Amino acid sequence: MSFNYNSMKKFNAGKWILVWVLAILLTAVAMVYQSYNGPTKPKRVQLWLSDNQIYQFKLPRSHGGETGCHVRLVIPDNKVEADLFFRRYPTNEEWQVIPMERSGDTLSVILPHQPPAGKLEYYFKFRHEGKVLRTPAAEQVVIRFRGAVPAGVILPHAALMFIAMLLSNVTLFLVLFNFREYRVFSIVTIIALFIGGLVFGPLVQKHAFGEYWTGFPNGFDLTDNKTLIAFVFWLLAILANIKKERRYLTVLAALVMLVIFSIPHSAKGSELNPETGNIETGMVMSPVIRLIDP
């Protein structure tokens, strides 16, 4: 069966609904996977005082604005005391210690503010009935600071990137279900991707870390580069399908976008090099051999 651009009303309603249901499900799975594996997602940890006293916390790994990061841990047992240990990351500087303050059921402390893209690593030592417990037990939590991003910038960026991802998946299933309308959806996809990723994306980057673009050729920021790669693949697919149908290129563009946008957000992003004071992207290659606190 063949379709033309005026055949929308003749579409099989069941197939059309199935296309959108599958696209929404695929988009949701990719977004959940990305959010649960990103370097800015709060770190889940436990404080095990006894079999009957187990506390669970989410420790921040990202903070925006001009203030320090306020960490609050709900521990009703007022016999529990704690200290915060922190230092700049990645360095071998001496650990600095700040006692946590109690207010009712909550112990709180403020991680000192850092310049945009600056990072701290931190952990806690709890004291309870003669015991000293370290949390996390065998590692540090790394938090990255950034500038404040206005809602008028971050919200359109996030919304349009979600829409672009959804439309990309819709286009994929339109091809697989043999709908020629995939060409129209390809164009709408790249428009959403361009505005969300290549217009609002650099604005977010500028507010957060002081630079509009830190991907190729200016740097190795993975978020910027994966947006650029997705745009290039979609542009090639659209141009290649103008005079002759090359559906496989559209499928390839949609799959590339699905894979790269499943990569955790902010992975290998901007990072302040404490040795040079410069913001770098990708991975800071510090000459320091770091010693991990026992």
pLDDT tens digits for 201-217? 999 988 988 888 877 77
Per DSSP (E only), the strands in the chain are 43-50, 53-59, 62-64, 69-74, 81-89, 96-99, 101-103, 106-111, 119-128, 131-135, 141-146, 271-272, 279-280
Residues 256 and 224 in one domain: yes
**105 lies in the same domain as 62:** yes
CATH code of 123's domain: 2.60.40.10
- Domain assignment of residue 1, yes or no: no
Domain membership of residue 274 (yes or no) is: no
Q: Going edge to edge, which strands form the sheet with 69-74?
A: 69-74, 106-111, 101-103
List the chain residues with pLDDT less than 50: 1-3, 5-8, 283-292, 294
Structural domain boundaries enclosing 135? 43-146
Asked if 89 and 172 sit in the same domain, the reply is: no
In a domain, 283, yes or no: no
218 lies in some domain: yes
CB 164 within 8 A of CB 129: no
pLDDT of residue 285: 36
pLDDT of residue 280: 67
Q: What are phi and psi of 265, to 5 degrees?
A: -65, 140
The per-residue pLDDT for 20 is 95
Q: Do 190 and 206 belong to one domain?
A: yes
Q: Which of 67, 57, 111, 46 lies closest to 85, judged by CA?
A: 111
Domain boundary among 117, 146, 175: 146
Name the CA radius of gyration of the chain, rounded: 24
Phi, psi for residue 92 in degrees, rounded to 5: -110, 30
Q: Which amino acid is at 227?
A: T
Q: Can you give the pLDDT at residue 281?
A: 64
Residue 140's contacts (CB-CB under 8 Å, 6 or more residues apart) are: 89, 121, 122, 123, 292, 293
Tell whether 187 and 256 lie within a shared domain: yes
Burial state string for 187-200 with b = 16 or more CB within 10 A and e = fewer than 16: eebbebbbbbbeeb
**259 & 158 share domain:** yes
Do residues 116 and 54 share a domain?
A: yes
The last residue of one of the domains, among 146, 168, 193, is: 146
Instruction: Confirm if 131 and 100 have CB atoms less than 8 A apart.
Output: no
**Distance separating alpha carbons of residues 269 and 280, to the nearest angstrom:** 8
pLDDT score for 211: 83
Residue where one domain finishes, among candidates 127, 146, 165: 146
